[in-house]
Amino acid sequence: MKQLTLNISDSKFHAFLEFIKTLDYVQVPEADKKSLNELQNSLNQVKMMQEGKIEKQSANDFLNEL
């Protein structure tokens, strides 16, 4: 089985994922779906931080959460 890496715009990601799940020759393992959704959420947060829509967290605050 081959693997392929794609770059998909944020606005089209969910629609593309739903589409490829309909193809009988493409496998999207359940763990990968969860990981992809978590990654997508993280990327959305970074984008919102860059746009100034949400406040950035300091490194000290981040380390204190650990």
The alpha carbon torsion through 43, 24, 3, 41 (nearest 10 deg) reads 10
Q: Give the distance from CA 17 to its chain's centroid.
A: 11
The burial class, CB within 10 Å (0-12 / 13-18 / 19+), for 56 is exposed
Q: What is the pLDDT of residue 62?
A: 81
Q: What is the pLDDT of residue 63?
A: 87
- Write out pLDDT tens, residues 54-64: 988 888 888 88
Q: How far apart are the C-alpha atoms of 38 and 42, rounded to whole Å?
A: 6
pTM, entire model: 0.47
- Write out pLDDT tens, residues 14-41: 899 889 989 999 888 776 677 888 888 8
Q: Give the distance from CA 59 to its chain's centroid.
A: 22
Q: What is the pLDDT of residue 31?
A: 65
